[in-house]
Structure 1
Amino acid sequence: MKIGEQNLAEEIKNRNSDALEYAIDNYGKLIYKIVYSILNSFGDKESIQECVSDVFTSVWYNIKTYDNEKASFKSWIIAISKYKAIDYRKKLMKNSNIENINDYNIAALNETEEYILAAENKDEIIKIIKELGIVDCEIFIRRYFLEESIENIARSLGLTRQAIDNRLWRGRKRLKEKMISKVKKERI
């Protein structure tokens, strides 16, 4: 059987090792980049390779948790990569004996700052989404936080796909306007 994006997850569930090889061939470089970006300042090349291997091992053993209704296989494997790399980074930091604060890479400080800004922005975005109204708020959360398909949302709310698309478009527009307004206020 030919393995492709359409049947990749199903073939891994069926324990087809060719499907895992397909995943490694098609997602290996992407996974390596993600892991490298998180572990670069904390681990060596061997730690990065080990983490990448663990990502694919996790895919193999946890494929039953994958739901194509919630996310694409690519999104799912990216999420696994991020969480594995973060776990590895915690383990590496715990096991390291850093004597001097200067031993920390400046990139780690920049990364922390980015996390803080992202968290602040996330709180602001959630606040704005709540202002959209009950139905629009639910649509936004289901689409962008839970990664639910538009068809699924439309079906469960008894709306057309076009209605969902329109509400998402108006919500994104309002979100953008509010964020631009916030940035302008901060510059004053």
Structure 2
Amino acid sequence: MTSRELTAMMQRSAVDCHKALVKEYGRYVYAIVYNKLRSCGTSEDIEECVSDVFADLFMKCEFDLSSENDIKYLIGTIAKRKAIDSFRSLTARANHMTETDEDDMRELVADFSVDEHVDRSELRQILLDKIDELGEPDSTILIQKFYYNRNSKEIARSVSMTAAAVRQRCSRAMDKLRTKLVEVGMGR
């Protein structure tokens, strides 16, 4: 599709133009975004980025009426840039913990009186087993919060609860986990 064809189609019907662009270039954009985000994003993140590419194309781009150039390169460039921005955002979010999450982790770690020479993989396995013993949704909440660095709002969506309920369950689950760790000699 050329810029001239796109402009003519846009003048007739913006909706039809949008549908035609997504139909013609949707797989192309998806492939670009998927290749950039597959290592750090969920399928929802990828689909959201694809939608952002087309939204950006429709909102920010002015098409040259006289151009006979294929717009595939323009769409590809926008897709690559959006995917890179999403990649940076997703990896920054995964590497960033909020202050309350850090405080909770410090508190949990402070409760351990484990010799420095204990194999970390054994410690992790015991911790995961004790978290699993908490049952659902507590185990899911703790895993998502401390292993995947998700906030209460994100967790709430995945367990069909409110963010406030997730925070309350998390607090109670931490207390239960401390008790379980004390029982096996890993806490005070």
Q: Which range, TM-score by smaller chain?
A: 0.3 to 0.5
Calculate the TM-score normalised by the size of structure 2: 0.45
Calculate the TM-score normalised by the size of structure 1: 0.45
Say which structure, 1 or 2, has more relative contact order (CA 8 Å, 6+ apart).
Answer: 2
More helix by share: 1
